[in-house]
Structure 1
């Protein structure tokens, strides 16, 4: 039997992928732990083909690693990997924001404004799960308006790597408030339709590694 959260109409590969992704995110499959294909095949009464396909997708997204003579293990998320991904997202998302800045219409801007209002409400209520969900929607909204599907997919895949992993993140209200203020400023820039300013702000302010590194270390690794 598959877990209840898996959709019935999903393919076998997708069901295995979602199951393993959930196990990794929950910490049931820990970094360095070997994934046993035979046990999964027996558990779900399926062949190893969809399991291998799911694992290949997880490898492409950076969640598992194929090692000679050791099999497939869950990858550890290191400080170096997080900072590399962080900087990469900054460059790519800055480019996407520049493309989106001149393409967003009044309806798009109103949608972003409503999202910021809901984000503020979530913060005031200490509802950080809701805030993070709205935060992602804000970014996805302007990423889609870039009109570049490849760019959108690459950025989303990178974000999954640092947001959906087995490390237990610690919520830092100060960091969330800082990010929220940056969303308000970015909205102002979008209203000005200033592509260059949008690109620079995303790269040099919102995704600035030096300013965010102390929060990253505390949130991901509980380092002061």
Structure 2
């Protein structure tokens, strides 16, 4: 775990403030399942790992607490909090709604720079077989569509929900994708460019069914555990 955290921190090395670097490292580790629910955050130990003082570690942990990512346990102190089922379902339901709304909002208006990035996303997606990499590719595709709307509030709200979705997928229940999911994305992109409302409506219905199935699988997973 120590090596994984340090590797993340290297990628975030351009952060100006040490506390920001540690905070972002912890968040990424929580999202990817390196820091799992129940893991105790020990200031002294973590400070030694990063070769820094305890102050930036304490500041980072405080930020995590303010965001509801940690909780105080009477026995173990500050630990990573486990997401509750209703919280997971609310996150997935709202995120699906926002992604669908963004697609409907675009109506053929995609900036050329984002269109090029979407093409790169589709090309890369065709090479993937790992479920987590496919999930990340899917998230990037929809995030680019949301960015294309130019709505800053929509972008910020979606980012917060995407973070929770990453926790769910990496810690609780992994998404599975059909081999032709990239082709479906390509068809959707073409429909957006062509402003094909009928295709977009059908895509939204199909996507909602997939989302509902995943949420039902999630409920079954919680009940079994």
Deviation at 1:129, TM superposition (A): 4.7
2: distance between equivalents of 1:215 and 1:192? Answer: 35
Q: 1:98 aligns with which of 97, 104, 117?
A: 104
Conservation of the 8 A alpha-carbon contact between 1:109 and 1:191: no
Q: 1:46 aligns with which of 48, 53, 68?
A: 53
Give the corresponding residue for 1:193: 195
Instruction: Give the secondary structure class of the aligned counterpart of 2:27.
Output: helix
1:139 aligns with 2:145: no
1:84 aligns with 2:87: no
Give the corresponding residue for 1:167: 171
What TM-score does the superposition give when structure 1 sets the normalisation length?
A: 0.71
1: distance between equivalents of 2:137 and 2:190? Answer: 18
Deviation at 1:152, TM superposition (A): 0.9
1:16 aligns with 2:22: yes
RMSD: 3.8
Give the corresponding residue for 1:149: 152
Aligned residues between the structures: 215
Q: Structure 1 pair 111/183, CA: closer, same or farther in 2 (3 Å)?
A: same
Q: Which runs of 5+ in 2 are unaligned?
A: none
Deviation at 1:185, TM superposition (A): 4.0
Q: Structure 1 pair 188/45, CA: closer, same or farther in 2 (3 Å)?
A: closer
Conservation of the 8 A alpha-carbon contact between 1:30 and 1:74: yes
Q: 1:73 aligns with which of 67, 70, 79?
A: 79
Instruction: Give the secondary structure class of the aligned counterpart of 1:162.
Output: helix
Instruction: Give the secondary structure class of the aligned counterpart of 1:139.
Output: helix
Q: Which runs of 5+ in 1 are unaligned?
A: none
Q: Structure 1 pair 62/99, CA: closer, same or farther in 2 (3 Å)?
A: farther
Q: Structure 1 pair 206/58, CA: closer, same or farther in 2 (3 Å)?
A: farther
Bigger relative contact order (CA 8 A; separation at least 6):
1
Deviation at 1:67, TM superposition (A): 6.4
Deviation at 1:176, TM superposition (A): 3.7
What TM-score does the superposition give when structure 2 sets the normalisation length?
A: 0.71
Conservation of the 8 A alpha-carbon contact between 1:100 and 1:146: yes
Conservation of the 8 A alpha-carbon contact between 1:95 and 1:199: no
Conservation of the 8 A alpha-carbon contact between 1:65 and 1:73: yes
